[in-house]
Amino acid sequence: MRAGGLGPHSDLSTAQMGWVCGLVLAAHAGAATWLWRATAEPVPELASPTIAVVMLDNEAPVPPAPPAPPAPATDTPPLAQAAPPAPAARSVAAQAPSVLATPTQTAAAVAAASPTPAAPTEAPAAVAAPAPAVVAPTPAPAAPPAPAAPKMLPSSAVRYLVPPVLSYPRASRELGESGVVRLRVLVDEQGRPREVEVAKSSGHPRLDQAALVAMRAARFQPHIEDGQPRSVSVLAPLNFQLDEF
């Protein structure tokens, strides 16, 4: 054993001691450099963090459930739902044994619970269509005034341009028929007998007919009035005498 009481591995070589001393010196130099920088540069003050306290409810609000889609309309009337029993009835039912409802009571409950049918909506009264406007008929144009009736003149007021030529019927001559036929003659503006009719008969149709034929072949002088020819009516007698033929 060596002096000092150390074990055989306690002695270090000169080289190992040099390494240890170098490490110690380097550690001290690094610590001194760090202290110098810490004192030379001020440390910025750190802002204290703000602590926000949020009070949370024990139960988060439940979002509303989406509305259920409408059920398809059917013609089947809704089933009547039985009304909930009253509290007193429930207490009695709890004490007494259950009693089956009679058919009459069930029908009454269903009738009471069935919805009352809504009164039918009255259809709006039909709006009366406006009556069509009555259009007054256009008045017909006034008829032109009727011409004045021809003036009636005596036979002496007119003159013949072509007098009537009488022809005695042979049968009338043989039978000895004679008489005077009075004719009403309408003489136009040109002096022509436009209308000829028997005003008074001779009593013999053959003589009356012969007088009409003779007068239709006659011509009159036009009647002048106010410088204008006018139509006139004339009563002209024609005489049939056997002794003159």
At 82-99, the pLDDT tens digits run: 445 454 444 434 444 444
Q: Across all residues in the chain, what is the average pLDDT?
A: 72
Torsional class of 75: left (φ above 0), alpha (ψ -120 to 50), beta (otherwise): alpha
Short-list 228, 237, 238, 152, CA closest to 187: 152
The number of C-alpha atoms within 13 Å of 75 and in the hemisphere containing its C-beta is 0
pLDDT digits (tens, 9 = 90+) for 211-243: 999 999 999 999 999 999 999 999 999 999 988
Position 182 scores a pLDDT of 96
CA–CA–CA angle 141, 142, 147 (5° rounding): 140
| Domains defined for the chain, CATH in brackets | 152-244 (3.30.2420.10)
The rounded radius of gyration (Å) of the Cα atoms in the chain is 77
**Beta strands 151-153; 232-240: pairing state:** parallel
Cα torsion 189, 201, 169, 163 to 10°: value is -30
Neighbours of 140 (CB within 10 A): 6
Cα distance between residue 103 and residue 111, in whole Å: 12
Global pTM value = 0.41
Residue 176: DSSP 8-state:
T
Q: How confident is the model at residue 123 (pLDDT cuts 50, 70, 90)?
A: low
Highest mean pLDDT among 38-42, 111-115, 178-182: 178-182
